[in-house]
Structure 1
């Protein structure tokens, strides 16, 4: 914490310095542009005239710009003290009008006298000054509101990203205990039956857990590793069912150099083994994964258990559908068909 605070202050100082730099750059560019135009139109302008017209008066108007931008808006308008804000702005504009006219009297020959020798009246100059001041007040208000809007949008976007990240972390954390619970139940059954395949099942489970704990921390993983993880899970189920496990698992297409969000597909396979029939040779679990043109097509179908027809889905599929909405918005299609004797899931993802 002690090291973080100075770092945050340093970053804030750098950001403030950049803002000041760009503001100065903008005003210098504007003033230089008008000086350039004035030089083109009248090459006989003296340095004193250029200083008064294009430096002194712009600085006065710019000071009103920042008085409104940094003081009036934050302290009055943003706090919904609208009438007080309007009154202070009006008084400031009038005061600036008198002040600029006073400066004009000092440089009368430059400011108040036309080239034909006609002297500008106080009323004419004052109205012109008010109009100019209103423009700078409007510009500062527009800039303040636009920058505040963009800042609020960025804050809201950051908060939303943080919320989504936290929700994804929570959803992902649910997978491990859910998967572990199901797998331990399978191994318990083998141990209870004193099966010789129990050590092999424990070894497969350790490989699966190693992948889930150490290789799934990145936002995306290699598709080949994810498919190997699915294969290990299927092998674990085959050990559980022994010779009575029937699953038709095929992978087509080029899976190299492809990435996918981890632990997305396992829920569908878990659901097929948990709620479906895996020991019917005439109706094996069908699992097909095809990768082509940057898309992954996932298909799984299982025969429904006659004694467990309504107990499909559960936390696994609800979890994966929510993760798909967060991770692949408008980039996936999920079709689930819950028919009388079969349960089918088809998923298409833009990798």
Structure 2
């Protein structure tokens, strides 16, 4: 209760206004102490400065309440002691600082979370750029050699092969500027890639590529399918015996499934590429998180199969 000429409502509003007026600079100062002392592990200085801030803010609030003629009385109508009123003011300031500190770290945690997401997205885009550069270097070198051989052995196939190469290079150039492409353009890119890879295959290698895409206009993150297709041609080529590569891309109203399978030549030992599958898994987690994607890989000594399912 308060002993003065104002109504309880007016007293409450005045008391709250004084408390907020004292808390605002105290919270601002405490935020500075958090950033410049506590975060730098200067714990003793932080504790001393925070205690001084708390006591000074409590004294100021107590003084302002006294000047505004706001006095706390007990049930019998007796005015509480100065020490009690000062302790109550310090307690109110302490509660305000605690709530502000919690909000400070919650806000910092949220900001840090979004910053980490942005950094992770930037890292993935950098890895994607490296993946594109890696594909460009070794694939373009091999393709040019294959085109040279094709020009000597079967020059009538050169126009189609050059168109495939131009389409592939155009797609990589365009996709580098886009966050999403379409299922249809990604499938066309894979067809051009497979067609050019087939130029270097021997007669003992069979390649099957089938698609069923009723909704080719659906959006898709670029170059998600390439690593699994690329692995088929890295791992399935052997000098002796039959080699088999099967690639199947199917689509429903809400999903896309890529199935790849390839035989493994005897005595084959895979060498880690460093960017292919790890980058694919990271990009899947970024663009199709949780149950929006599923990647299953089954490998034996003679066959390697991968199934990628996406919820579009």
TM-score (norm 1): 0.69
The correspondence of residues 320-331 of structure 1 with structure 2, limited to 5 A, is 320-329=276-285, 331=293
Partner of 1:59: 21
Partner of 2:95: 135
Aligned residue for 1:339, secondary structure, equals coil
The correspondence of residues 142-181 of structure 1 with structure 2, limited to 5 A, is 142-181=102-141
Partner of 1:79: 40
Alpha-carbon separation, structure 1, partners of 2:229 and 2:57 = 75
Alpha-carbon separation, structure 2, partners of 1:243 and 1:76 = 72
2:291 aligned with 1:335, yes or no?
Answer: no
Query: Which ranges in structure 2 are unaligned for 5 or more consecutive residues?
Result: none
The correspondence of residues 1-351 of structure 1 with structure 2, limited to 5 A, is 45=7, 49=11, 52-69=14-31, 71-108=32-69, 110-111=70-71, 118-193=78-153, 195-215=155-175, 217-236=177-196, 246-273=206-233, 276=236, 285-292=245-252, 294-304=254-264, 309-310=267-268, 315=273, 319-329=275-285, 331-340=293-302, 343-350=303-310, 351=312
How far does residue 180 in structure 1 lie from its aligned partner after superposition? 1.0
Does the 8 Å contact 2:23/2:97 carry over to 1?
no
TM-score (norm 2): 0.76
Does the 8 Å contact 1:247/1:278 carry over to 2?
no
Distance 1:62 1:310, change over 3 A: same
Alpha-carbon separation, structure 2, partners of 1:277 and 1:58 = 75
Distance 1:324 1:281, change over 3 A: same
Alpha-carbon separation, structure 1, partners of 2:167 and 2:89 = 79
Structure (1 or 2) with the larger CA radius of gyration: 1
The CA deviation string for residues 57-76 of structure 1, in whole angstroms up to 9 with x for no partner, is 4423444333323x433333
**Count of residue pairs brought into register by the alignment:** 302
Query: Which ranges in structure 1 are unaligned for 5 or more consecutive residues?
Result: 1-37
Root mean square deviation of aligned Cα: 3.9
> Larger relative contact order (C-alpha < 8 A, sep ≥ 6)?
2
